[in-house]
A and B are shown apart, each in its own frame.
Chain A
Amino acid sequence: MREEIITSGRLNPHIDPHLEIWHWQIPLYLFLGGLAAGILFFAALYTIMGKEDKYPGAVRRAPIIVPFLLILGLFALFLDLKHKLFFWQLYTTIKFQSPMSWGAWALMAITPLSIVWVAMHIREFFPKWDWKYDLLKDLEIEALKYKVHIAWIIIVLSVILGIYTGILLSAFNARPLWNTSILGPLFLTSGLSAGAAVIILFAQSKKERELFIKIDLLLIVIELFLITHLFMGFLASTSVQIDAANLFLGGQYTAPFWIFVVILGMLVPAALKIMELRHFKIPVIIPVVMVLFGGVMFRFIIVFAGQMSRWLY
């Protein structure tokens, strides 16, 4: 028998009995950030492809919620900080080896840009909007001139936003559950899927709606493939990774993961979407809410389960 114990009573708050340094604020931000990234990605994509008028819901309408999502997400992040008064230190330097630093700067760039994008399309919701000040009126004209350029910047930033959180977690080799390069693409795909689902709600035409239902369906299939790949990778890896995978294969997070994330968050909405495409009458909101719910649960479970996975003791 092998007995390995800490005899001097280590009980550091948030570290023992297992790591719990991040609570609800982080998964909430991850979700909001991923969703925002998804929406902005499609908005920028279809602008670049010149299909702005064909898919106005995606390009002009859905992005209105993005600034709110981002600000809410940033606030959640701020709440999570334990040394709040010093948060501005994040913006005194950029550390290329720290995905959190990229994220801080990316958010710093994309939040104002998303506000600009919304401002550019404010007349979708408020047709009689008047900027009042000449400066703002001129800026609007300039922005519309360079819309495609802005869209290119947004598309790059939205990909970074969507994928960096996964890369951030995967850089923590101390938490075997996160230490897989699949996590980045998985987060990005999940974010895009959530974005596509929300865009469905803002879709202006049946064609737009059907397009995004198909896009979301495709993204869900990719997600399922990546999840399979994730588990195959864990189970073929080192013992700490196998232990991490076992959290979902008989361990504490088995039921929540497979039921909430996979079944309710991916398989059932996928089935509903197929039925929608086959012209069955499904209330639009149901699959959307399920996808979003699945996205939220996915991030919560990954963040909490990841903190339980460990190398020692």
Chain B
Amino acid sequence: MTSRRQFIRITFFGAGTLAAGGGAIKAMTGFTPDEAKNLKVNLTRTPTYCEVCFWKCAGWVYKNDKGEIWKVVGNDDDENCNGRLCPRGTGGVGMYYDTDRLRTPLIRVTGSDGKQTFREASWDEALGVVAEKLKKIKAEHGPECTALFTHGSGGHYFGNLLKAFGSVNIAAPSYAQCRGPREVAFIATFGAGLDSPEPTDIRDTRCLVLIGSHIGENMHNGQVQEMSDAIDKGATIITVDPRFSTAASKSKFWLPIKPATDMALLLAWIHEIIYNEWYDKKYVEKHTTGFDQLKEHVKNFTPEWAFGITTIAPSVITETARAMRDASPAVIIHPGRHVTWYGDDTQRLRAVAILNALLGSWGRRGGFYIPEKIEVPEFPHPPFPKPTKTWRDTMGGKYNLADLALASGVCDATIPSPDLNCNIRAWIVNGTNLIMTLPDQKKTLEAIKNLDLLVVVDTMPMEITGYADVVLPECTYLERWDDLRVVHGRKPNIALRMPASDPLYDTKPAYWIAKKLADKMGLGDYFKWDNYEEVLDWQLKKVGSSLDEMKRIGVKVFPRESGPLYFADDDQPIEFGTNSGKIELYSNVIAAEGFDAMPVYTAHMTPPQGFYHLNYGRAPMHTFGRTSNNPNLTDLMDENTVWVNPKVAKEWGLKNEQPVYLENQDGIVSDFSIKVRITERIRFDSVYMVHGFGHNNKKLSRAHGKGASDSQLISRVLIDPIMGGTGMRGNFVTFRMEKESEVKS
């Protein structure tokens, strides 16, 4: 029996005897009520915020009477979750108890037989190796040739370390591989990005339009909760998706659109809204510029024109536009989150932004509220040195509108090429499994080959660890302090993360790793604290709280200072963050870069004969590949399936649950087979699979070999010319019943 099993067995009686009353106690457990009262049951709870996904819901960790972590429950005061965590958050205990976790630092060594393996090392030794190599790179090439890839709370510490070292190449894949286009599009239109969590006022909306967004299968906690509230209030949901998603099943209108044609639909909607005079006239006049150019621009984008491209009937296009008008301004054309699809994504999100602006939803109840974030001062440190070059210099003058570093760009800049006078030589990777995150795996692997140093800081032996020179085991969020969570929301708020347990095995928190590394590199002044509680208490006192208070309440909400949640309905002018100070329907800043000032439709490649659009998405019980080994969550779903339309299945003679291999248009075949799910829910020209499976690292005992990896099949990358986003939906797959070669891992 594993220790987890023993834990369960011992505590069951503990929980039962505590609460049962009267005769039931004796019956259930053999204890009399008096004996039960004397049983010590410790229901203390410690505050934390979840690290499983970016939503960072605040919660409480409960321990049982043996002091072992029992369960995680949401914090009622937190607006991100309202006291209810999502399945991954609730299953976060699985991350803690996963026996496949990384346990000690590892250093890559080459044996006498030439074979490379990892050898266990002490922290001192491992950090020493990293420090040495970084110093060497600084001496030979300059500190600017190092980069950090991060996703999660560790990014702040390693980011500071890198900046102190002399580099600002800090990239999060969540930008160019995910939400980048919408940030650029919304900044260009409204002068403000969306950030996380998106300020969508779903709970008060009367019409929610989801374009490829599958709320309910993507578990953006607060948004799923608010969508449920909206359904209660009778809101109209319009879903545009080639697949019958869960959201589509709750929609009044489901538009089963032909893949890659959403732009045409958006333009047709803009056309209808303008030419039927369904837009919010007062709002448009008061707050926007470029209306006349837009009106002229969409003149020919009629529903009939869109019908030919999208296969959505003109009457449906008009009817749904009318529904939006009926709800306006309490209407949300949801921008989605992962929007890197076909390479024209910034423009598509511009169309979304424009449509929202026309309907007057930005800054209005039921549309987009005005979020506010509290300013928490940074713990004092010496000023960072100014680097002589940044990631932007490697872009060759492209993607000037990108406001954050492109992870794919940094990866590209690691491959030596005549355009670069120096390529990046060292990567620190924390909390992101680049092998499954960046599209075009071949390129990622090539980039890694050119590195002098790859340091991976992670909790689990994900694929990226297999390529590392040094692996540093991080403890899970349940075992450490961390920065305060400061996110924007309807009310400014902060949340505390406190360890519920000491780090298991020989793992350490990221802040400790960063500090010790800094000490070894002579950068100790940038981390001048002895423990992180010191930093937190200092910060909390600056905002009128204290560590003791936060330990008790977990989440502290502050009153708004920047003004009301929505625009006032008066004649006061409102300044937007754009160059013109108004909402730009015609984008000057985009035009200045040489791109279309207003979106146009571009036809995208269709699948060759026998191939199908590769659509991928999320399941509510998993977060990318991060949870595919979590024991609680693999209990729910341990592999993905490929959704195939019954007509297609009949053509190919496929049976339900039959394992097949997927081959993409570039001849790449999936490492592992994937089971077929024959369902009416997917269009006949597409297949669908959930992202995050098909792991080939054998150390992930529950995830290895389960399902197939869609990332492996994304080799055709459609780069967005405006901000460098990597469009991933231009890949097609076909079925292979057998595979010739053996899988190597």
Q: Which of A's residues lie within 8 Å of B, judged by CB?
A: 1, 3, 7-9
> Do residues B679 and A8 form an inter-chain contact, with CB atoms below 8 A?
no
B680 within 8 A of A: yes
- Of B547-555, B590-598, B635-643, which stretch is located at the interface? B635-643
Residues in chain A near residue B635, CB distance under 8 A: 9
> Do residues A3 and B638 form an inter-chain contact, with CB atoms below 8 A?
no
Q: Which of A1, A3, A9 lies in contact with B637, CB distance below 8 A? A: A9
Residues in chain A near residue B679, CB distance under 8 A: 3
> Do residues B636 and A3 form an inter-chain contact, with CB atoms below 8 A?
no
Q: Which of B's residues lie within 8 Å of A, judged by CB?
A: 621, 635-638, 646, 678-680
Q: How far is the CB of B714 from chain A (nearest CB, A)?
A: 25
Q: Which chain B residue shows the least CB distance to A3?
A: B679
Q: Which chain B residue shows the least CB distance to A1?
A: B680
> Do residues A9 and B638 form an inter-chain contact, with CB atoms below 8 A?
yes
Q: Which of B621, B638, B646 lies in contact with A1, CB distance below 8 A? A: B646
Q: Which chain A residue shows the least CB distance to B639?
A: A9
Residues in chain B near residue A1, CB distance under 8 A: 646, 680
The docked-state distance in angstroms from the alpha carbon of A7 to that of B638 is 11
Main secondary structure of the interface of A (DSSP, over half): loop
Q: What are some 9 contacts across the A-B interface (CB < 8 A)?
A: A1-B646, A3-B678, A3-B679, A3-B680, A7-B637, A8-B636, A8-B637, A9-B636, A9-B637
Residues in chain B near residue A3, CB distance under 8 A: 678-680
Besides A1-B680, A7-B637, A8-B621, 10 more A-B contacts (Cβ < 8 Å) are A1-B646, A3-B678, A3-B679, A3-B680, A8-B636, A8-B637, A9-B635, A9-B636, A9-B637, A9-B638
Main secondary structure of the interface of B (DSSP, over half): loop
Q: Which chain B residue shows the least CB distance to A8?
A: B636
The docked-state distance in angstroms from the alpha carbon of A7 to that of B677 is 12
Q: Which chain A residue shows the least CB distance to B635?
A: A9
Residues in chain A near residue B637, CB distance under 8 A: 7-9
Q: How far is the CB of B60 from chain A (nearest CB, A)?
A: 25
Residues in chain B near residue A9, CB distance under 8 A: 635-638
The docked-state distance in angstroms from the alpha carbon of A1 to that of B677 is 13
The docked-state distance in angstroms from the alpha carbon of A1 to that of B638 is 26
The docked-state distance in angstroms from the alpha carbon of A9 to that of B620 is 13
The docked-state distance in angstroms from the alpha carbon of A8 to that of B636 is 4
The docked-state distance in angstroms from the alpha carbon of A5 to that of B454 is 44
The docked-state distance in angstroms from the alpha carbon of A7 to that of B640 is 11
Q: Which chain B residue shows the least CB distance to A5?
A: B677
Residues in chain A near residue B646, CB distance under 8 A: 1
Residues in chain A near residue B678, CB distance under 8 A: 3
The docked-state distance in angstroms from the alpha carbon of A1 to that of B645 is 11
Q: How far is the CB of B647 from chain A (nearest CB, A)?
A: 11
The docked-state distance in angstroms from the alpha carbon of A8 to that of B637 is 6
Q: How far is the CB of B10 from chain A (nearest CB, A)?
A: 18
Residues in chain B near residue A7, CB distance under 8 A: 637
Q: Which chain B residue shows the least CB distance to A2?
A: B680
Q: Which chain B residue shows the least CB distance to A9?
A: B636
The docked-state distance in angstroms from the alpha carbon of A54 to that of B729 is 90
Q: How far is the CB of A138 from chain B (nearest CB, A)?
A: 44
The docked-state distance in angstroms from the alpha carbon of A119 to that of B637 is 61
The docked-state distance in angstroms from the alpha carbon of A3 to that of B679 is 7
The docked-state distance in angstroms from the alpha carbon of A79 to that of B4 is 28
Residues in chain A near residue B680, CB distance under 8 A: 1, 3
Residues in chain A near residue B621, CB distance under 8 A: 8
The docked-state distance in angstroms from the alpha carbon of A19 to that of B621 is 26
The docked-state distance in angstroms from the alpha carbon of A3 to that of B678 is 9
The docked-state distance in angstroms from the alpha carbon of A1 to that of B678 is 10
Residues in chain A near residue B636, CB distance under 8 A: 8-9
The docked-state distance in angstroms from the alpha carbon of A3 to that of B677 is 10
The docked-state distance in angstroms from the alpha carbon of A9 to that of B706 is 14
The docked-state distance in angstroms from the alpha carbon of A305 to that of B659 is 28
Q: How far is the CB of B706 from chain A (nearest CB, A)?
A: 12
Residues in chain B near residue A8, CB distance under 8 A: 621, 636-637
Q: Which chain B residue shows the least CB distance to A7?
A: B637
The docked-state distance in angstroms from the alpha carbon of A7 to that of B246 is 13
